[in-house]
Amino acid sequence: MANRTIFIEYTENDELTNAYSVTLASEDGTYGIKSVDSGVIIAPSGTVPNNPSVGRYEYTFDTTPGEVYLVSWRIVPNVGNEPTYQEEQIGPFTDIADIDIRAVADKKGIYKPDSTALLFLKITTIDGIPINASEVNVIIRDSNGSSVETGDPDKPADGFYVYEWEVNEDQENGDYNISWEYIIDNVTYYEAQEVIIAEDVDLESTVYNPQAIALREALSYYIACAQHIPVYFEQAKPTHDRKTYRFTFPRWNQTTGVKIYRNNNLVTTGIEIDYFKGEVTFDTTLTQYDMVNADYNFRWYSDEELSLFLNNAVQDFNTFPPHTAYGISGNSIVPDRFLPGVIRKAAVDAIRKLMMCLQFQEPQQVFGGPEGAQKAFSNFETLKKNYEADWLKLSENKKLGPYPRTVIISTPEYTLPGGRSRWFRYLFSSGQ
């Protein structure tokens, strides 16, 4: 169990203002806060929160790792006004080695009803080394917190888990929360993800169709180290409210080694981590003298960037003779025999972008400063040239086949004007 402080800020004309009345209450009057799984009422309807500052209302309660909660705020702006209700779902909360930390759900794609949603979990140390977990399971909930599906994922590789959610054709549109639960060294961990179900999504163009996902995973192996970069004890940049602290690099991997420090002390509660943005938000305001640091592991490229590299590589490949019109998804997907070349070209573009980033100050710090970045640049240049040579060789061989096994070659034979055909001359000379 751990204490959590939830809050709401009421504004008028973009300024914080105290409302006439703010309470924790649902529209049907049954709860203020309740557990989605068990239905237990945590705060009854009508609970009065604290009002520590103008326009801010807070309430603190005990949470359980893995639990999802529904919170409903009842707001009456002025005397005689009709109340408005604001509902939100919070949790599940992360439990890392007895550390209770909330995690913002990482968005993992848009899917259509009657399609397959591929859900992934990668478990590594902070250095990016894959580790296997036990008792890995998935819980899918809708926006109301109701359980839609549970299951056990497959494990195609160490530290890599995949769950195929067969979305029903009548599945309602909306946001769905994915909660992964797994055990490492007798400690239970949680990871939160989110997917969207939408009727009008174009599965041929989405970044998260199965074919595009498979190609991105293949490309990730060529640039694996760039997708698992550890950063140790980086000092954060505070925002104006001194609650949210931002770090240099976004797209954190939800590894088991992420640690947040306040004044060199490990923070074990009272914070929320947005892994995609690389931000940490404290429940309470820190002072100007507080320092926040973090150990984290991040990926250099987003899924959208990897898909762009792959799409560009396919379009480049199409220009080699004979001309083709392949893509990275749909019925025109590039054939398997050409994938090695396409993936190498995508890796070239990814490395080229990384080399450009190394000309700037903040990315250089990952490699130990300007001198270390220069050495890395030279090594990347060699690797890029190797991939480029492979890519060009494979692409130039595109025109060589494969040919069918049986080939009929017909060579017509003509005579000079006024002459006869070879067959006619044969008949004439034989007297036939």
Per-residue pLDDT tens digits of the chain, which is 432 residues long: 566 778 888 988 888 899 999 999 999 999 999 988 788 999 999 999 999 889 989 998 887 766 788 999 999 999 989 999 998 887 766 544 344 566 776 777 788 888 888 888 888 877 777 888 888 999 998 887 788 999 999 888 888 888 989 999 889 988 898 888 888 877 777 788 888 888 876 654 556 667 777 888 889 888 988 888 888 899 999 988 889 999 999 988 876 678 899 998 888 788 888 888 899 999 888 888 889 999 998 999 988 899 899 999 999 999 999 888 998 877 788 888 899 999 999 999 999 999 999 999 888 888 888 898 899 899 999 999 999 999 999 899 888 866 555 555 555 655 555 554 444 444 444 444
**155 and 87 together in one domain:** no
Contact assessment for residue 108 and residue 212, using Cβ atoms and an 8 Å cutoff? no
**357 and 266 together in one domain:** no
DSSP letter at 55 equals T
In a domain, 419, yes or no: no
Q: Which two tokens stand for residue 283?
A: 């429940």
Q: Which two tokens stand for residue 407?
A: 């080939």
**Three-state helix/strand/coil letters over 169-236:** CCCCCEEEEEEEEEEECCEEEEEEEEEEECCCCCCCCCCCCHHHHHHHHHHHHHCHHHHCEEEEEEEC
DSSP letter at 47 equals B
**148 and 285 together in one domain:** yes
In a domain, 250, yes or no: yes
**78 and 97 together in one domain:** no
Q: In one letter, which amino acid is 192?
A: A
Range of the domain at 294: 92-300
**276 and 205 together in one domain:** yes
- DSSP lists the bridge partners of residue 281 as 244, 272
**39 and 150 together in one domain:** no
**214 and 319 together in one domain:** no
**196 and 186 together in one domain:** yes
In a domain, 161, yes or no: yes
Alpha-helix runs per DSSP H in 59-187:
none
In a domain, 335, yes or no: yes
**What is the predicted pLDDT for the residue at 2?**
60
In a domain, 73, yes or no: yes
Query: Which CATH number fits the domain that encloses residue 102?
Result: 2.60.40.1930
What span, in angstroms and rounded, lies between the C-alpha atoms of 295 and 111?
A: 33
What span, in angstroms and rounded, lies between the C-alpha atoms of 28 and 412?
A: 89
**What is the predicted pLDDT for the residue at 235?**
93
**103 and 85 together in one domain:** no
Question: pTM of the predicted model, to two decimals?
Answer: 0.64
For 257-273, the DSSP string reads: T-EEEETTEE--SSEEE
In a domain, 374, yes or no: yes
**194 and 295 together in one domain:** yes
Contact assessment for residue 161 and residue 178, using Cβ atoms and an 8 Å cutoff? no
Task: State how many domains the chain has.
Answer: 3
In a domain, 421, yes or no: no
In a domain, 425, yes or no: no
**272 and 353 together in one domain:** no
**275 and 330 together in one domain:** no
